[in-house]
Structure 1
Amino acid sequence: MPPSSPPPSAGPSGPSSLPPSHGPTRAAVSAALRAAGCVFAEEEADLLLAAARTPGELAALVARRTAGEPLELVVGWAGFHGLRIAVEPGVFVPRRRTEFLVDQALAQAPDASVVVDLCCGSGAVGAALAAALGPVELHAADIDPAAVRCARRNVAGAGGRVHLGDLFDALPGRLRGRVGILAANVPYVPSGEIGLLPAEARDHEPQTALDGGGDGLDILRRVAAGAPGWLAPGGCLLVETSGRQSAAALAAFGGAGLDARLAECDDLGATVVIGVAPPHP
């Protein structure tokens, strides 16, 4: 299967390598991946073979994957909402479930002309929204310089601009009151549960993209509180969270003066809080 998140994981058997006698064949790569516990070994083998330019490079990619590095980081891209999103080591890998946030944004504001992707990571959400909406004024922002560099690659085709800084502080002031879609894929894992995450996330993604504070909602509350000053009348804020955090997240949106509701997708295991700014009086 194409890269997705979370990717199939390497199991407890540990790193494995290509048998020298087999050479860089699909069967040999698949066997090495399967021995390391990769569930979709054949599909992953195809992606690694396509990504490698030489037998030596293939061996290096297989070694990284069997050591537990996420498949997306090994091959350098993740499939997201029909796009191939570039990802790099040290950058949060876009999750398939976040495609539901994109779909909800498109349903809520199909005519949005100004889009902001806050806590953008790779810029996957902004790139997907721009691809679906057509020409838009797209801005993305993240506190992590590595994420900003990666996002610039992914939104360049849509003419997007990426800003470095802490949440709304990173955005140009001229966007105040103009944003039709404000998508914020904030970190929402409680600090005490970071150690329980799969190794792919815990060991290979920046903690700033995962840690949401004591109850996981510290950043969400900050975004909800600041959003009304940036949204256009009728504009929407969308944030992904977990089902068990949804009631508190809804309360934060409502407390900020947004008309809040919840959207859930059982197939993807996705929960999105949607807040709509009041229209003009």
Structure 2
Amino acid sequence: MASTADFVWMDGEIVPWANAQIHVSAEAVLRGANVFEGMRAYWNSDERQLYIFRNEEHLRRLRQSAKIMRMSIPYTDEQFTQAFIDLIRKNRFTDNVHFRPVVYFDAGDYKWKPDEIRTGAFVLAFSRPPSAAGKAGIQSCVSSWRRNSDNSSPSRIKAAGNYHNSRLAYVDAKTKGFDTPIMLNDRGDVAEGPASCFMMVRDGVVITPPVNADILESITRDTLIQLYRDELGVQVVERDIDRSELYIADEAFFCGSGAEVVPIVGIDHYPMGDGKVGPLTKQIQEIYFRIATDKDGKYSKWLLPVYRDNDVR
């Protein structure tokens, strides 16, 4: 079932869900001509407080995507931030939230002079608790579909058009009885999942593909690298990963704003370690959620308070 909410922020105002519409002739509809972010707000049940996680970093990446697409953004970071807060408050969320600011090309020919076509923006927000896969782990596979090349449709751009590639890989994996697949780049090295970055553990070292391996420059990936090093004292190495290395890894997991931290317990029917969620994966999950909900106050710089429960009652 598709996610819905009571309200959407669209082109500067909050409107009822049913009234948030784009014409069928818009380039966003015809060609997927938009860039977007996937963001989270986390609910601290003890404080009854909601926090947007790493807001500044997401807005910076949104502007980087738009720059490569030669797309202007008609709103400032401050206006977007206020839109996030207003929308979350209007929907009266009191649990974890997944929201997406989207900047899109409207109707017209954007191929030659994109600055002459109207650019719009909207924000969708949904209640989204952690998935069950985060505890049990998933069975993955190596996809036969390759990740987009930087010289064709750069994965560094978080654009809707890139996710056709993602869907091909994901649907193919599901039809074969697997969950989220691992995608290789055109050089045959590990890239990422269809909508999340990849990390694995070998001999106590966390290994993840570098940002030039045709991956999205993930904010969650950056977060976990910092937390592994600073909180656990674990070495993190960013390097190319061969396909065969996947099968002899001790642990593996996907990470992203949508995925959060999803353990992988098997790849192509090869078990990861003992086939259960590994210790370094469990530890980083616990730390990530503790940090994102401001349970210890050490990373408050990453958190933007939205409201307390009694503010919307």
TM bucket, shorter chain: under 0.3
Decide which structure has greater helix share: 1
Larger relative contact order (CA 8 Å, sep ≥ 6) = 2
Normalising by structure 1, we get a TM-score of 0.27
Decide which structure has greater strand share: 2
Normalising by structure 2, we get a TM-score of 0.25
